[in-house]
């Protein structure tokens, strides 16, 4: 990681352009971007940034398997004002949990949006956010950023 310099791009299109112009050596994309755009340019996936290999790319090793002890993925959450009653929060969490049990919903999220379905509610989600922030902060301490 000491040899990696992170470069920020305002959108995926500019990131793809930089990769294709060889302005950067590698980039991180989600699966829909990979399938839609990058596969036609015959780019090779270098690693999966999820803790486990993906069913859609079973031959591609995870970054952890490659010795890079950090995961990176998009995590989406539902947030409410602090004074929201617990019964309302529980009802919303139950509705999301039930919806995410549907195989068609799971398939669409994974195959169309490139996300891995992992439902966490309440304290479990807060713990995930705290752990993720700590891991990203630790990784960023020794990386040079460039815009």
- Find where tokens 């529980």 sit: 90
Model pTM score: 0.58
Average pLDDT rounded to a whole number, residues 29-57: 76
Question: In the chain, how many domains are there?
Answer: 1
Q: Is the pLDDT of residue 133 over 80?
A: yes
pLDDT in tens, 45-99: 888 888 888 877 889 899 889 888 777 766 778 889 999 999 999 999 999 999 9
Q: Can you give the pLDDT at residue 69?
A: 76
* Angle, CA of 43, 108 and 14, to the nearest 5°: 40
59 DSSP 8-state letter: T
Q: Can you give the pLDDT at residue 110?
A: 78
Spatial separation of the C-alpha atoms in residues 62 and 52, rounded to whole Å: 6
Structure-model confidence comparison of residues 146 and 81, the more confident one: 81
Range of the domain at 46: 5-146
Q: Can you give the pLDDT at residue 142?
A: 58
């Amino acid at each position: 990681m000491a040899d990696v310099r992170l470069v920020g791009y305002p959108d995926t299109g500019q990131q793809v352009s930089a990769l294709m112009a060889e302005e950067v050596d590698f980039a991180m994309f989600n699966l829909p971007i990979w399938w839609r755009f990058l596969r036609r340019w015959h780019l090779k996936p270098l690693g999966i940034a999820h803790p486990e290999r993906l069913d859609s790319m079973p031959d591609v090793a995870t970054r952890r398997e490659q010795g890079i002890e950090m995961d990176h993925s998009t995590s989406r959450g539902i947030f409410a004002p602090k004074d929201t009653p617990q019964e309302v929060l529980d009802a919303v969490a139950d509705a999301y949990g039930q919806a995410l049990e549907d195989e068609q919903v799971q398939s669409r999220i994974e195959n169309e949006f490139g996300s891995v379905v992992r439902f966490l509610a309440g304290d479990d989600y807060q713990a995930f956010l705290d752990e993720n922030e700590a891991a990203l902060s630790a990784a960023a301490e020794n990386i040079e950023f460039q815009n």
